[in-house]
Structure 1
């Protein structure tokens, strides 16, 4: 479980900018996240939605200590993040919006293997994880491809595979479908569905719900760093347009919102 209690994050005033919010000014500082309290249980599929600058990225980066709150606490699986950053970053895998922020190796296979190798796993286990992760993003057989030769969408797929290979307890994806073609999006969605069914918490940060609304258990809507919506998808859909979040037309006409392990793949639309 991820537990957030009274978290506030600010930037400015001579300090490093902590995220994407442009929220409320506090003197010469800006509040990116304002007094957020939240619990994310095992196996929940949570959408964190909001317009650009609403604080989405800043909030989720507190989950594994990439951003340190100015006040409040964050705990992962019962341990405060500030007490054990290594444990938090092992338990909470994060796919950044820009894959260039997390690709570290020169080839696809080496990059996906980087995290598992640092866990001290056996060669056989590393090979299994790399193969499974690449299959999940439709990149089987591309282990020797050079990262520098990949398109933006392919780099996004490698970034996702690298986090999947870590097999975290909680998976956070920040705008994960940007640049992905239709087969890749469907493959990633199928993998997210499998992870949720296996008990992994999945947190998707987005301002566009087309790919994920049909999978979600809950939607958290942010505005100026504050929680404005926290509800099941059908209930949340009523209020999300006020946050500049587009709800797909007919989203609830012909499929259930809270889907389980037996679900069929939801339809997606190219962005």
Structure 2
């Protein structure tokens, strides 16, 4: 079992997936040179990566993988800081800008059954003031409230085999006061909602709408009640979950589910 073995996208789960976390070839510089090893998904500045220091403004990753059998094959990156370019078997499959957002490449056409070569180039120059930095320091040495910058892959990388017809989007907005959940699913398909294994709602083929729940139990830290949702579209099956709650700031206090709630927080 490699690093970070948990399912990387709990809001839309499928049974079949393949982690690409683990040891990759690694290098730094304008040209792709792979003279070191790194443990993905830890950034090179992290000790867990096996490097423990900043490598440079441009870093490179490479590994080989065998592709699972599927009608479609998606390659997912949880996050790469900051500008990323991805190749599979020398075919560019993705470009992405943004160090905190996930992105996906359809690699069906580029991948073969075995011995696929995956290469990632990540660019994150400290001197580029157009890059949102948050509290990352703009030099290699952190100071004050600013911490060490993060470079390259720092979230899980994984493959997802899919049937040709599959759910591409599932969005939920729970409404505690109405005892319902607003949904959008693309393409429209059947799904069921359960609580404690009991079916409390069904929808048949609608791409969007409001589903009223037969049992309404709010989420609360003392009773974190979560509903399960399972959608099926042909051979595709996806699962997700949601809770019912309200949060608001009123009269200088924080309110949860219509009642004042005192939080103990750590910055």
TM-score (norm 1): 0.22
Specify which structure has the higher proportion of strand: 2
Specify which structure has the higher proportion of helix: 1
TM-score (norm 2): 0.22
* Relative contact order, higher structure (CA 8 A, sep 6+): 1
Q: Which has the larger radius of gyration?
A: 2
